[in-house]
Amino acid sequence: MAYTTLILGASRGIGLELARQSLAAGERVIATARDDAGLERLRALGCQPLRLDVTDPASTSGLAWQLEGERIDTAWYVAGVMCSRADATQPPTREAFDRVMHANVLGAMQVIPQVAPLVEASRAPGGGRFGFFSSVMGQIGTVGGSGAWLYRVSKAALNMAVASARHSYPKATFVCFHPGWVQTDMGGAQAPVKPTDSAAGLRAALAATTPADSGAFLNYDGTRMGGW
């Protein structure tokens, strides 16, 4: 039986690499993108493409009917955006706040009630798993500065959303991940981790989790990040 993987935000970067590796592993991949170019990349790769813009509540509200009847063995919430590198000496504009928080937090909170029941319906050994792209920058206990503070706040909020939501879906394993500092449009060419290595580590780390790990915060190599 081919397992079904859902990747929310797969048109480029680590999301696209997750799709590529999942297909190579023989999985059936449903993957989302916001625009025609992204959808075509996913289609050419061999995915079942779905249009989804997590910053648009009207778009996210229609996800459930696009997934009607599915059983999802592995889901990934990859979608997210970076803010400016401004620190706490500069207040974010309302426009910047809305853009970052809609993509990084509200989008996740809107898709979880639609996707999590499908993950709970998985027939995979150990049950279904739902991985979320967070960041070490969202850890409150280890924060060492205020640079990119809007992004930091959004990832801390995502961590709380996931930690809370897992209690409503006990048959699914929810895990937040720091994907590493990766060579993507967001991470930049100077980043030390290649997308292929991040995606491979993420896939292995999530596959190794059990229901007892629900609520964990892991690095892409599977090591624990400690507190949220």
For residue 18, being part of any structural domain is answered with yes
Please write the tens of the pLDDT for every residue from 149-184: 999 999 999 999 999 999 999 999 999 999 877 766
Asked if the model's pLDDT at residue 228 lies above 60, the reply is: no
Q: In this structure, what is the dihedral angle of CA atoms 134, 199, 67, 64, given to the nearest 10 degrees? A: 10
Residue 225 lies in a domain: no
Query: Does residue 228 lie within any of the structural domains?
Result: no
Please report whether residue 56 resides in a domain: yes
48: part of which helix (H) or strand (E)? Answer: strand 48-51
**Separation of alpha carbons 191 and 199, rounded Å:** 15
Residue 207 domain boundaries = 4-219
Does a structural domain hold residue 224? no
Decide if 226 is inside a domain: no
Among 12-16, 19-23, 72-76, name the one with the lowest average pLDDT: 12-16
Instruction: Tell whether 66 is covered by a domain.
Output: yes
Query: Does residue 41 contact residue 23 with C-beta atoms inside 8 Å?
Result: no
Q: What is the pLDDT of residue 186?
A: 62
216 touches 209 (CB < 8 A): yes
How far is Cα 154 from Cα 110, in angstroms, rounded to an integer? 15
Structure pTM?
0.94
β-pair partners for 131: 76, 175
Buried b (16+ CB within 10 A) or exposed e, 152-171: bbbbbbbbebbbebbeebee
Report the C-alpha gap between 187 and 193 in whole angstroms.
9
pLDDT of residue 188: 62
Decide which of 12 and 21 is more confident: 21
Q: What is the DSSP letter of 9?
A: S
* Number of domains present in the structure of the chain: 1
Q: Are 95 and 105 in contact (CB under 8 A)?
A: no
Eight-class DSSP state of 49? E
Domain-embedded: residue 45: yes
Looking up tokens 């590493």 gives 180
CATH number at residue 76: 3.40.50.720
